[in-house]
Structure 1
Amino acid sequence: MKIGTGLPNQVRNMRPDIVPAWAKLAEESGFAMLTTVGRHAYPGLSDTVALAAAAAVTSRIELIPGVLLATTWPAPLLAKELAGIDAVSGGRLTVGLGVGQRLDDFVAEGYGPKGRGARFDHDLEIYREVWRGEPVGGGPNPAVPPGTRQIPMLFGGFAPAALNRMARWGEGYIGGSIPASMAGPMFDAARNAWQEAGREGSPRLVALAYYALGDGEAGKANVHDYYSDHSAGGGDFAKLASGAVCDSPAKVKEAISAFADLGIDEIAFNTATDDIDEVKRLAEIVF
């Protein structure tokens, strides 16, 4: 099993200056990937800022936002930022993308929730154009330097449109922070969409789970707080997500085993607190 850990960028009132040290420790501990959790209307650190900080202090570990709220950004600006993070990291970014659901995250004028699906489909074309070095803004200049690559994309979400985008544009599917028993049908749907689109091989499938090993109750409270604030599903999903937090070595191992039984060979454990010792605690269990 390929195992990653999350940066604490969306723990309420987290300490931003801990991100570089967290990223370095995660790489030194042997984790395969670093993930972020994305929102705007929450007192944390932007995915792009957290990933850029991690890129600057690491050299091996993969970087994955899981998932970035793509439709809340102007497409050329997001494409340029992602290209910059990827370049700084030496090509270690795989971008997880979704359309977003919470109304208060659509903070930029002109980029509201209405029509976001159609906007996202158009934006994906723009990302590719920007990364190819085509001119932007009606002038002669590209937004990125020569050598910029087409960044691999994963897609999250539960709607058929998300799976269709994955099959057309992506390398695979990134699951939600729900128990394996509930995530199984979505991973199956991703495989089916891939095959129906005539893609060769199998999609990359990445599972997500929360963990809090030092203070399980605080971790559960943080996750509940994050998802209860205008989340899709409201309190029901907040209760589900917080109840699934892995707060013991046994629960971490159970999560790994359950996702492995689904045929998933990659899992990222997102931290539910900003206690940097969590990185070592998790490493001692999984390695």
Structure 2
Amino acid sequence: MKIGIAFPNTIPGAPGRLQSDWAVRAEQRGFSTVAATQRLRYPGHEPLSVLAAAAAVTSRIGLATNILVAPLTTAAVLAKEAATVSSLSGGRLLLGLGPGVRSDDFDAAEREFGPRGAVFDSQLAELARLREQHDPKCLPAPVPPLLVGGLSAAAVRRSVRWAAGWTAPGLAPERVAPTAAKVRAAWSAAGREGRPRLIALSRFWLGEDVAQEASGFVREYFGVLGDEADAFVATTPRTPEQVSEQVKALADAGFDEVIFHPTAARLSQVDRLADILIA
């Protein structure tokens, strides 16, 4: 099981310099990947920009969007931006994409929320084509591989048809394991070679000194869910035992990698997670 860590790029008030320092420390401590996620109508840093900055200060660690909401832009713009980051990093970018679930982000981007599924399908088809039939006159190389996020039947179909695999949302292992099994089965049924890449997401915080900050962020970020936001706080791993149990459960479900998303914008979180999970 590979262990990755996400930037605190959506945590309000996290400074820009922290994002670069985070990437350097994550590489030093041996994480497999450092990932950025996206919200538009919410404080924080834009993910591909953060990853471009990370590419400049690292040389080995994988870079990923986990995830980026593709229908907020066009396939052509997204392809150019992603291929640029991939080129800057020497081909270390993995492009995790989803159709989006928050209508306020679409309002801010002046994009239609209703037809986002159909838009996403056409975008994935175009991005896959650009990767398979790369034209250096249009895009720098290499064009990054794709992962698709979501729990729907459409997410399974998209992962198998256009992507290198599937990335799970940040839910309990027992809630994402069935979809992982469906992706593997559909992959085999479609005659795809090898195995799909399966990545899981888990929030975390470590240390009583960040507990108030972290729980407050989780409660605010998922505030749109009302009382359910408290459940996300309660189920966020926060002890070495809970973090280790999360990794074991996801490994047992067949995931290749788990990316831990911080809920406190403190560089200490990188070291504390590494101390538990990375030899």
TM-score, with normalisation over the residues of structure 2? 0.92
**Counterpart selection for 2:178 from 185, 198, 214:** 185
Corresponding residue for 1:244? 235
The secondary structure found in structure 1 opposite 2:5 is strand
Corresponding residue for 1:103? 103
Whether the 8 Å contact between 2:205 and 2:237 is mirrored in structure 1 is: yes
Structure 1: any 5+ residue segments left out of the alignment?
Answer: 136-141
Letter paired with 2:214:
G
The equivalences for 1:26-105 within 5 A come to 26-105=26-105
Letter paired with 1:204:
R
Q: Distance in 2 between matches of 1:124 and 1:182?
A: 25
How far residue 55 of structure 1 moved from its aligned partner, in angstroms, is 1.2
Corresponding residue for 1:160? 153
Q: Distance in 2 between matches of 1:263 and 1:275?
A: 31
The answer to whether residue 267 in structure 2 is matched with residue 272 in structure 1 is no
Corresponding residue for 2:204? 211
Counterparts in 2 of 1:257 and 1:243: CA distance versus 1, 3 Å:
same
Q: Distance in 2 between matches of 1:166 and 1:216?
A: 36
Q: Distance in 2 between matches of 1:34 and 1:284?
A: 17
Q: Distance in 1 between matches of 2:230 and 2:177?
A: 19
Counterparts in 2 of 1:186 and 1:224: CA distance versus 1, 3 Å:
farther
The answer to whether residue 215 in structure 2 is matched with residue 220 in structure 1 is yes
Q: Deviations over 1:226-247 (max 9, x none)?
A: 1223xxxx23553333222111
The secondary structure found in structure 1 opposite 2:3 is strand
How far residue 224 of structure 1 moved from its aligned partner, in angstroms, is 2.2
Corresponding residue for 1:114? 114
Q: Distance in 2 between matches of 1:143 and 1:9?
A: 30
Deviates more, 1:90-99 or 1:50-59: 50-59
Which contiguous aligned blocks of 4+ residues in structure 1 show a shift greater than 6 angstroms? none
Whether the 8 Å contact between 1:130 and 1:143 is mirrored in structure 2 is: no
The secondary structure found in structure 1 opposite 2:109 is coil
Corresponding residue for 2:7? 7
Structure 2: any 5+ residue segments left out of the alignment?
Answer: none
Whether the 8 Å contact between 2:180 and 2:254 is mirrored in structure 1 is: no
TM-score, with normalisation over the residues of structure 1? 0.90
Counterparts in 2 of 1:9 and 1:79: CA distance versus 1, 3 Å:
same
Corresponding residue for 1:139? none
Letter paired with 2:80:
K
Q: Deviations over 1:66-120 (max 9, x none)?
A: 11100111211111000010000000001100000100111223x2212111111
The equivalences for 1:194-209 within 5 A come to 194-209=187-202
Counterparts in 2 of 1:262 and 1:129: CA distance versus 1, 3 Å:
closer
Q: Distance in 1 between matches of 2:105 and 2:189?
A: 33
Number of residue pairs the alignment of both structures matches: 274
Whether the 8 Å contact between 1:219 and 1:245 is mirrored in structure 2 is: no
Counterparts in 2 of 1:240 and 1:95: CA distance versus 1, 3 Å:
farther
Percent identity of paired positions between Structure 1 and Structure 2? 38
